[in-house]
Amino acid sequence: MNKLWVLFKRELSGYFATPVAYVFIVIFLMLSGAFTFFVGRLYEQGQADLSAFFVFHPWLYLFLVPAIAMRLWAEERKTGTVELLLTLPVTTAQAVLGKFLAAWAFTGIALALTFPVWLTVNYLGSPDNGAILAAYIGSFLMSGAFLAVGACISGITKSQVLAFIVSVVLCLLLVLSGFPLVTGFLSGWAPGWLIELVGSLSFYSHFQAISRGVLDLRDLLYFLSVIVFWLLANVIVIDMKKAA
């Protein structure tokens, strides 16, 4: 537990040692603002809620989260520090979890810095702040799911570019798996239960209710299990690289 904390601290402080963190946060805030006000038309909707803000999060995360996740392992492989990390007295699971939690905390910080949007709707009207909190929690969980996918992919390769591209494509499939684009591809030949299963894996459909402020336990469990699954895969990937 203690070692996990040490790894977590190092990873998180690593973000702020370089301009990467600040650039990321600024871009995240600018894009989420632009989507909310210009595409989502928060003002014109005349409703005191933040669905216009949250509804774009899957698309925002789709590109920004893999950008955070791509360096987690690929960079260490490239610079050789992975050899240092994995010969320290820590378990693979601690290393995987420490990296993931630090990246997740960083995403959380970026997400928390969107609070002016929340202040705005509170100034303009009287929104259901419980629903907004629920949506924030849901969005944070979804970012963790994106991150876990990206972290696992980053463990496979030395190339950050490759990690980024593969993660984006994989995440896109996960976001879209409920959409006709993916289900239509299956509908000709796959059995109905498979189509339903693939459809139920969609980040998008699980997030839709959340973005409106409805925090369903099933949606939370869904995102948590996606995180656990990909982190386990990450541990396996790292251990397999040892044996390769």
Partner 1 sequence: MIEIKDLTKAFGPFVAVDRITFSVAPGEVLGFLGPNGAGKSTTMKMITGFLAPTAGTVRVFGHDVVREPLKAKQLIGYLPEGAPGYGDMTPWQFLGFIAEVRGLRGAERKQRVARVIDDVHLHEVLHQPIDTLSKGYKRRVGLAQAILHEPRVLILDEPTDGLDPNQKQEVRELIQRMRRDRIIIVSTHILEEVSAVCSRAVIIARGKVVADATPAELETRSIYHGAVTLQLDACDEAAEALRALPTVAEVRLDQAAGQVTAFPRDGADLLAEAERLSSARGWALKQIYKERGRLDDVFRRITTEEAA
The alpha carbon torsion through 99, 105, 107, 108 (nearest 10 deg) reads 160
Q: Does 187 bind partner 1 (CB under 8 A)?
A: no
Q: Is 217 in the site for partner 1 (CB under 8 A)?
A: no
| 28 in Cβ contact with 60 (< 8 Å) | yes
- Using CB under 8 A as the binding rule, the residues of this chain from 4 to 43 that contact partner 1 are 6-7, 10, 13-14, 17-18
Distances (CA, A) of 166 to 109, 141, 153, 163: 25, 21, 7, 5
Question: Which CB atom, from 79 or from 225, has the smaller least distance to partner 1?
Answer: 79
**Subset of 79-138 contacting partner 1 (CB under 8 A):** 79-81, 83-84, 86-91
Judged by CB under 8 A, which stretch of 35-43, 73-81, 180-188, 224-232 contacts partner 1? 73-81
Q: Chain centroid to CA 50: how far?
A: 19
Contacts of residue 99, Cβ cutoff 8 Å, sequence gap at least 6: 7, 11, 72, 73, 151
The site for partner 1, by CB under 8 A, has a size of 24
Q: Which two tokens stand for residue 83?
A: 């050899």
**Distance (Å, whole) CA 231 – CA 150:** 10
> With respect to partner 1, which residue has the nearer C-beta, 2 or 126?
2
Choices 77-85, 118-126, 155-163, 229-237 (CB under 8 A): range interacting with partner 1: 77-85
Minimum distance, C-beta of residue 4 to partner 1, in the bound complex (Å): 10
Cβ at position 19, least distance to partner 1 in Å: 10
Shortest Å, Cβ 82 to partner 1: 8
Report in angstroms how near the CB of residue 9 gets to partner 1 at its nearest.
8
Phi, psi of 50 (to 5 degrees): -115, 20
1 binding partner 1? (CB under 8 A): no
Cα 191 to chain centroid, rounded: 30
Residue 98, SS3 per DSSP = helix
Map residue 48 onto helix, strand or coil. Answer: coil
CB of 97 to partner 1, least distance (A): 14
* Closest distance of CB 158 from partner 1, Å: 13
Measured from the Cβ of residue 187, the count of other Cβ atoms closer than 10 Å reads 11
Residues making contact with partner 1 (CB under 8 A)? 2-3, 6-7, 10, 13-14, 17-18, 79-81, 83-84, 86-91, 239, 242-244
